[in-house]
A and B are shown apart, each in its own frame.
Chain A
């Protein structure tokens, strides 16, 4: 009988009765062959690997993370509550010491869902990692958290949610936005005024193979994590970098994913994308499970794997080395000195145009954050979309300073009284007050 070196909690929830549409990549059988492979391998007979049922997230779990317009119930379905609940269960297992590591192998995914939600974009409605992280902070206190997103698509939703948060480091490795949805995630996207350098993007050229990915882990991700010193490392474990994925152009492999996971050694992994349901997912998921449990994964090789056929070009290797240098330099610049001139107490504003590809919704946002040297800064987002009239969300962030709290309370009161907004949402993390009306 095989024994796991690390106790692994596995939340496997394939949602066999849920799809965006019958031939959509995000459809019922996405994890069918993964389940076959995990069962045939006898994963759950490995001593130390235990399968758990997901929790079902509560409306409060969503309200503490997102501004849902018009409301939570209107933008989500039970499937989202269960996949977010799967991530929460993973976190609980680790936080409460029932597992050393946990993997939420759940769907639907979440990393394209932003702070404000009008509908589904990039197959995501709510950001299940963010819902999980906010659950962790709410229930287990102040934590320094790092998210390493290894999905092939830039996790623009997660980036948006943590853009201003100096205690959540978001690092994304993805196919260059000039060649793939959602078209963002460039080196110069580094976070808002209160959290500069806490967003790090590493856009990789098409045809990057295992060599390139592992180079990024060794030469950018791990050095940056070492400097950031997180309490918890979370892997958004998208699997669409695989050489057989039908909607991307990368050349990563199951062995590569397993080695990446081994090097990164995340406390919690959450499945994101990955749409090669027969050729990649069964092997990549198996590799990640074994790596997280500390079990020999050297035999996990796709049947059609030919190292030579997907080896990356030398020019790609050189390009990636340059990108990594720059990413590390960017992080260091703000890590070592954060003394650039900032007008404390002033608001900084950005305007965003957001497209929801799945639902065909267009949204326009004006986002203002108060510059603060003590916390993530009170946040105000005015939003209007093709499906909802002008609305507003005010957030007093987790561990906010007293000034930001007071300003937030005042802003929300003013917003309500102004009569300008169809919906006014309030996230008050200090007083645990979440208004979804």
Chain B
């Protein structure tokens, strides 16, 4: 039995899932001043429909998704951070200034991880003093190529001895990208206190309810990490919503081959893509507000069209969305929406159809076109927009740059053969989607709560990246803090074995037990290092992941 808990939106939702599907749900209005009370109320609702003793006994894990960090970032309500960066040859770090307390320090490390010049201790001391004077308590330390050699970031951390928290850039991700590393490390420290206060309260709350199962945090890549880990990397908790839906659909439907998944809500439609039955991961990292980050995420796009998107008619042109003024007229709203147009054309019968008809007729009269034409145009606009957004996303996926002749010639082309739809209006949308996409469209039974199911059933994901330079005798797996020496004859085969072993033991150390078969080597390459005309070593790069997956699939009980 697994529990998904979504805290922080308008509503706090909880859903309990076991092999039979959903066994209990709860929905309470979130009291933002007292989140913990909202959580407590949600549990009380659950216990009303399912005995609390049973829940406490059978519950294997709670997956928590929260918009707490995201909202704080988007609204700019985060703590001030002392951001200390070093640089090296290239774009001047002043271009990446992210907040007031931003200090580039001289010192540099090159692309192979060699220290080119020492970190300037005097400049560093002055920077920290300036932060202290302004009462800064949390810091981020980011240096160029720190994934190859973290020593400068460590020196910065050591110099911030009495800080409450310091984010080290290389512990976020093994990926290259100095500006993104700066942004991500900054955000991580900026939400650290807020997130930890929330985590403290949740944990206290659960203890008081005598619930002792592990608590995980849902991430944007469709996976989870233990709460204890998320306390150090709270930035991982951002923008997990769309991923929950994608994981939900992969539990509810047997997705084989290439597919598109649509989560259709009141105001937006989230698009995600499956290749060979697995959700695609975005290659760089998610963008939150104005910050591109290194936070791993599923490949999703959101467009401003949903069932409640308002219809606007100007000069004979009809548009739908992105604005929502309220529910559809069929549900008592004031402005006709996409759902009302569908009601008018008798494509669906949703709520009070008469109200829809009246609203559409009124708008049509104002626009001097027939009500039927208005409805047809609105529907065509909406579904054309969705289709175009899907096509654009697929184009982007398929035009993703590749770097070998093999991939250029043999590279996989994602060509969806089916569409999966979830979210409130999806059943109503089905025939129109089928018409537009000319593909079979599946809508699972529990389509309205797919995201809650996904949140409850998502499993741990993790990604590590190895870089070995046998000429220098150095090996690194930055985000788990492994920096070791390696032998001259270290090979790509050694690297693959090391990746698997390190990933398994790291996950074990944070309380996750998985087996070797859950680990996937995503890429591995080995290059000669040539000095003069002789091979003097190898430069090896390899990456492994525990890919997004759900605990159990529910599709045997589903019609899709």
Interface residues of A (CB under 8 A from B): 1-2, 12-18, 22-23, 27-29, 32-33, 35-37, 39-42, 44-45, 51-54, 56, 78-79, 82, 246, 254, 278, 282-283, 286, 290, 295-296, 298-303
Contact = CB atoms under 8 A, between A and B. Distances in A.
Given A17-B404, A39-B175, A278-B112, 12 more contacts: A12-B403, A14-B403, A16-B403, A23-B535, A40-B90, A40-B178, A254-B89, A283-B89, A296-B95, A298-B92, A302-B89, A303-B117
Contacts of A29: 527-529, 539
B530 A18 contact: no
A201 B551 CA distance: 69
B91 A299 contact: yes
Interface of B: 87-92, 95, 108, 110-112, 116-117, 144-145, 175-180, 284, 290, 292, 399-406, 408-409, 525, 527-530, 532-535, 539
A131 B110 CA distance: 37
A299 B111 contact: no
A220 B539 CA distance: 43
A275 to B, nearest CB: 10
Contacts of A286: 90
Contacts of B116: 303
B401 to A, nearest CB: 5
Nearest to B467: A36
Contacts of B401: 12-13, 51-53
Nearest to B292: A45
18 contacts: A2-B95, A13-B408, A16-B404, A17-B405, A22-B528, A22-B535, A37-B90, A37-B111, A39-B177, A42-B91, A53-B400, A78-B405, A278-B111, A299-B87, A299-B92, A300-B91, A303-B89, A303-B110
Contacts of B178: 40-42
Contacts of A37: 90, 111
B405 A45 contact: no
Contacts of A12: 401, 403
A296 B404 CA distance: 31
A290 B89 CA distance: 13
> Which of B90, B144, B405 has the most chain A CB atoms inside 10 A of its CB?
B90
B497 to A, nearest CB: 22
A296 B91 CA distance: 7
B292 A52 contact: no
Contact of A299 (B89, B284, B399, B402): B89
Nearest to A43: B91
B409 A78 contact: yes
A29 B179 CA distance: 25
A164 B560 CA distance: 68
Contacts of A45: 177, 179-180, 292
Nearest to A286: B90
A56 B409 CA distance: 9
Nearest to A44: B284
Contacts of B175: 39
B409 to A, nearest CB: 6
A115 B242 CA distance: 55
A33 B111 contact: yes
A85 to B, nearest CB: 9
Nearest to B525: A16
Contacts of B539: 29, 32
A204 B284 CA distance: 44
Contact of A295 (B91, B108, B409): B91
Contacts of A299: 87, 89-92
B548 to A, nearest CB: 24
A44 B528 CA distance: 27
B355 to A, nearest CB: 46
Contacts of A40: 90, 111, 144-145, 176-178
- Give the most central of A2, A37, A54, A283: most B CB within 10 Å: A37
A90 to B, nearest CB: 14
A278 B292 CA distance: 28
A56 B528 contact: no
Contact of A53 (B111, B284, B402, B528): B402
Nearest to A279: B110
Contacts of B92: 296, 298-299
B177 A282 contact: no
A204 to B, nearest CB: 26
A286 B144 CA distance: 15
Nearest to B400: A53
A22 B87 CA distance: 33
A7 to B, nearest CB: 17
B543 to A, nearest CB: 14
Contact of B405 (A82, A278, A300, A302): A82
Nearest to B95: A2
A416 to B, nearest CB: 35
Contacts of B176: 36, 39-40
Contacts of B108: 303
A52 B117 CA distance: 35
Choose among B89, B284, B528 the residue with the greatest number of A CB atoms under 10 Å from its CB. Answer: B89
Contacts of A282: 111
A53 B404 CA distance: 11
B292 A303 contact: no
A231 B89 CA distance: 35
Nearest to A79: B405
Query: Top 8 nearest A-B pairs by Cβ distance?
Result: A42-B179, A29-B527, A39-B176, A303-B116, A299-B92, A17-B404, A40-B176, A36-B111
A293 to B, nearest CB: 11
A51 B399 CA distance: 10
A36 B525 CA distance: 14
A44 B284 CA distance: 10
A221 B392 CA distance: 43
A15 B404 contact: yes
Contacts of A18: 405
B96 to A, nearest CB: 8
Contact of A82 (B95, B144, B408, B535): B408
Nearest to B409: A78
Given A15-B405, A82-B408, A33 B528 contact: no
Contacts of A33: 111-112
Contacts of A246: 532
Given A12-B401, A299-B90, A54 B527 contact: no
Contacts of B87: 299
Q: Which of A23, A282, A296 has the most CB of B within 10 A?
A: A23
A437 B267 CA distance: 62
Contacts of A36: 111, 145, 176
A23 B90 contact: no
B411 to A, nearest CB: 9
Contacts of A32: 527, 539
Contacts of B292: 1, 45
Contact of B533 (A23, A56, A303): A23
B418 to A, nearest CB: 27
Nearest to A34: B111
Contacts of B404: 15-17
A80 to B, nearest CB: 10
A358 to B, nearest CB: 15
Contacts of A17: 404-406
A41 B90 contact: yes
A247 to B, nearest CB: 11
